[in-house]
Amino acid sequence: MQYSLAGQVLTLDARNHGSSPHSPLMTYEAMSLDVQHLLTQLGIHKCILVGHSMGGKTAMVLALQRPDLVERLISVDISPTSTTLISEFPAYISAMKSVNIPAGLTRSAARQLADSQLSSVVQDPQLRQFLLTNLVEVEGRYIWRVNLDAISHHFADIMSFPVFHKPYPGPALFLGGSKSPYISEVEPEGAPEIQRLFPKADVQFIEGAGHIVHQDKFEEFITAVLNFLPSP
């Protein structure tokens, strides 16, 4: 299937993730400022924000702080509330810290060994594969490119959501997975907060998708996003 999208598409790594710099500070206010600074540097005066999970919360914070910068908002499988459903994540972080990969292994062998070491704690194979995308080789040894120490230190901040009183006035799409509990199906307080802070929000669920909606049901995800975007 082919997709046509007018305009420029930017993919951002959050601080302490991917190729972005590491920082001891990891709050949604700080991550929102990171995006604002990038938009300023690139001379972008208005954009459409798409964010998944923690990225979705960052996008919501930016839209609520600076609605003048955000034409439309898409939050993927996350609501503007405290997230209490993934208490196992500290255990996942501890398991990632304990992974021990000897030097000299091929990338394939290193990933296989890390997968085996994680499996007793991270039992979902799909989630393990997602975490293993962060295993990288640097100067002959394998490390995690995410800043696990900063994430651990700010875990409560990441799970929470800042307090806002003034709503975002623009169009918003909350796109959840039908098999995921992260929007209103298991978080009943999520739906009122979505309506309070994003009164023009449309909440949709993609059938058969879990938390990583864009991976589980890629075609359906792209279709929903394109249907929400303004006509070129």
Which of the residues are catalytic? 53, 149, 211
d(CA 205, CA 3) in angstroms, rounded, equals: 21
Q: What is the dihedral of CA 73, 74, 79, 81, to 10 degrees?
A: -30
CB count within 10 Å of CB 91 equals 11
Kindly tell me the burial class for residue 87, based on how many C-beta atoms sit within 10 Å of its own C-beta (0-12, 13-18, 19 or more).
exposed
Q: Which of 66, 59, 110, 95 is nearest to 80 (CA)?
A: 59
d(CA 79, CA 104) in angstroms, rounded, equals: 43
d(CA 91, CA 156) in angstroms, rounded, equals: 14
Q: What would the two tokens of residue 86 be?
A: 């993934």
